[in-house]
Structure 1
Amino acid sequence: MLKHVIWIGGPPGSGKTSVATRLVRRHGLRWYNADTRTWAHRDRALAAGNRAAARWEALAPEQRWDAPAEDLLAMSLHRERGPMVIDDLRELPTAPLVVAEGSSLPASAVSSGIADRSRAIWLVPSAAFHRAQLEARGPSPGARRLFPALASLIEREAREHAAPILPVDGSKGVEETTDAVERLFADALAAGPCAETLDERRALLREANEASAAQVRAYYARPWADGDPETVVRNF
Structure 2
Amino acid sequence: MRKGGAAVAGSVLWIGGPPGAGKTTMARLLARRYGLRRYHADVHTWEHRDRALAAGHAAAARWERLTPDERWSRPPDELLAMSLHHERGPMVAADLRALPGTPGTVAEGTPVTPGVAGAGDHSLWLMPTPEVQRARLAERGIAPGVAALYRLLLEEIEAEVADAGARTLAVDGTRSVADTFAEVEKLFAAALATGSPAASGAERARLERYANRAVVRQHAAYFARPWTAGDLASTVRSFACECGRAACEAEVPLALADFPGAPDGAAPDCDEPACPPVLAAGHPAPEE
Q: TM-score, normalising length from structure 2?
A: 0.78
Q: CA deviation at 1:187?
A: 2.1
Deviation at 1:213, TM superposition (A): 1.0
Which residue of structure 1 aligns with residue 284 of structure 2?
A: none
Give 5+ residue unaligned stretches, structure 2: 2-7, 240-288
Q: Which runs of 5+ in 1 are unaligned?
A: none
* Secondary structure of 1:138 counterpart: coil
Aligned Cα root-mean-square deviation (Å): 1.2
How far 1:116 moved relative to its partner? 6.5
Aligned match of 2:189 in 183, 186, 191? 186
Matched, 1:222 2:233: no
CA contact (8 A) 1:61 1:224 kept: no
**1:235 aligned counterpart, secondary structure:** strand
Change over 3 Å in CA distance of 1:229–1:61 after alignment to 2: farther
Matched letter for residue 81 of structure 2: A
Q: What residue number does 2:64 align with?
A: 57
Question: Of 25, 29, 42, which aligns to 2:36?
Answer: 29
Residue matched to 2:96: 89
Using CA pairs below 8 Å that are at least 6 residues apart, which structure has the higher relative contact order? 1
1:77 aligned partner? 84
Report if aligned partners of 2:127, 2:168 keep a CA contact under 8 Å in 1: yes
How many residues align? The count is 232
Q: CA deviation at 1:63?
A: 2.2
Q: Which amino acid aligns with 1:65?
A: W
More helix by share: 1
Runs of 4 or more, structure 1, over 6 Å off, are none
1:92-131 alignment, distance < 5 Å: 92-110=99-117, 115=118, 117-131=120-134
- 1:156 equivalent among 156, 159, 167: 159
Distance, in Å, in 2 between the alignment partners of 1:213 and 1:61 is 23
Q: Residue 175 of structure 2 aligns to a residue in which SS?
A: coil
Q: TM-score, normalised by structure 1?
A: 0.95
Structure 1 partner of 2:75:
68
Code of the aligned partner of 2:39: Y
- Report which of the two structures shows the higher radius of gyration computed on alpha carbons: 2
1:177 aligns with 2:180: yes
The alignment partner of 1:8 has SS state of strand
Structure 2 residue 44 is the aligned partner of structure 1 residue 41: no
2:166 alignment partner AA: A
Q: Could you say which residue in structure 1 is the equivalent of 2:264?
A: none
Give the stretch that moved more between structures: 37-46 or 187-196.
Answer: 187-196
